[in-house]
DNA sequence: TACATAAAGGACTGATTTAGTCTGGTATTA
DNA sequence: TAATACCAGACTAAATCAGTCCTTTATGTA
């Protein structure tokens, strides 16, 4: 279906929110959740993912929250998506951890290599677009 | 997850199979199923979808089967994928049948329009690549 | 110190989607 | 008339996704 997950969508929205108010300190998960009508627990989890991938930094306690770790124009969409999404390949056998043994079609389909080029182009689109461009 | 469905994958494989032997008459669903180790019923269904979308033609009865309706270099990947896949949009609210009322984020997220540009670029990749290029 | 705030993290459930199967039908040819 | 092969739709099981709940940890403030 070639659709982004809700997590990816929420991650982009959260990143956008933080980028917009980055000058003025931290944004809390609650704040983002309410502003954009995203379930709190979900956006909290997504924000944690962004921290793990060093896209955002976090601060606990009162006045804490999240903030982008670098300028919006240096964060690409693929950074965000990879932070929350496990797979980002259009066909299974392109996954990094999949070997030829995993794929029954390996010796016959021969569709993998041409599609790899398609994959490369799609990655390029998400790599070239930054958070700054979706503000 | 941004992954193509198995149906799409099988459709591409089937299209490739037909393109390769297009000169010599019809290919049956059984033949393709066995050559590429795809479940018969599934590839049959996929082939029927291709017929509905005028990408392939079919002939019933003995010596019948499927054949591409036009030259491989005039059939783009997006033609194939659209024939078997219901949605082809990276976020829900881009679907043609979705109105602003469907999306709780409509008045706030503002992520839709920038992503539409991303969608356009992805469509371009699949539109520009033809079956002839995956042979 | 006590308390309120807010992130971290894991387990769990319900809903949706996907992949695959089964069954019965229709058209064509030998 | 029998074999072949497409057509069509219902159905099931497995996988994935979205969302919730709950407990813990860290930090600033009264
Ligand atoms: S589908 Fe896996 S190698 Fe082609
Ligand atoms: S998510 Fe639907 S309009 Fe933004």
Higher pLDDT, B66 or A23: B66
Helix axis angle for A112-128 and B112-128, nearest 10°, is 150
Q: Which of residues 8-67 of A touch strand C (CB under 7 A)?
A: 26, 28-30, 41, 44-45, 47-48, 51-52, 58-66
A106 touches chain B (CB under 8 A): no
Q: Could you tell me which residues are beta bridge partners of residue B77?
A: none
Q: Which of residues 45-64 of B touch strand C (CB under 7 A)?
A: 45, 59-64
Specify whether the CB–CB gap between A131 and A15 falls below 8 A: yes
In chain B, residues 12-41 whose CB comes closer than 8 Å to chain A: 12-13, 16, 35-38
Q: For A69-116, what is each residue's pLDDT tens digit? A: 999 999 999 999 999 998 889 988 776 555 555 677 766 667 888 899
pLDDT at A102: 62
Q: What confidence tier does A62 reach under pLDDT thresholds 50, 70, 90?
A: very high
What's the Å distance between residue B60 CA and nucleotide C30 C1'? 14
A104-130 average pLDDT score: 87
Q: Encoding tokens for residue B1?
A: 């997850």
First to last CA, chain B: 26
Pairing of the two strands B56-59 and B65-68: antiparallel
Measured to protein CB atoms, the chain C nucleotides within 7 Å are 4-10, 17-23, 26-30
Tell me which ligand sits closest to the C-alpha of residue A105: 1
Specify whether the CB–CB gap between A14 and A72 falls below 8 A: no
Atom of ligand 2 nearest to the CA of B92: 2
pTM for this prediction? 0.91
pLDDT along chain B (135 residues), means of 10: 92 95 88 94 97 97 96 96 91 66 69 90 96 93
Residue A79, Cβ density class (10 Å: 0-12 exposed, 13-18 middle, ≥19 buried)? buried
Judge if the beta carbon of A60 is closer than 7 A to nucleic acid strand D: yes
Atom of ligand 2 nearest to the CA of B102: 2
Q: For A33-52, what is each residue's pLDDT tens digit? A: 999 999 999 999 999 999 99
């Amino acid at each position: 279906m070639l659709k982004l997950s809700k997590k990816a969508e929420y991650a982009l929205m959260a990143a956008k929110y933080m980028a917009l108010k980055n000058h003025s300190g931290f944004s809390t998960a609650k704040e983002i959740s309410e502003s954009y009508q995203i379930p709190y627990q979900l956006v909290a989890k997504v924000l944690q993912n962004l921290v793990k991938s060093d896209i955002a930094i976090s601060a606990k306690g009162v006045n804490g929250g999240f903030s982008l770790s670098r300028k919006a124009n240096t964060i690409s969409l693929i950074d965000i998506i990879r932070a929350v999404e496990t797979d980002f390949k259009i066909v299974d056998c392109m996954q990094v951890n999949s070997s030829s043994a995993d794929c029954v079609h390996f010796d016959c389909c021969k569709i993998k290599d041409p599609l790899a080029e398609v994959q490369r182009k799609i990655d390029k689109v998400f790599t070239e677009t930054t958070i700054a461009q979706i503000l």
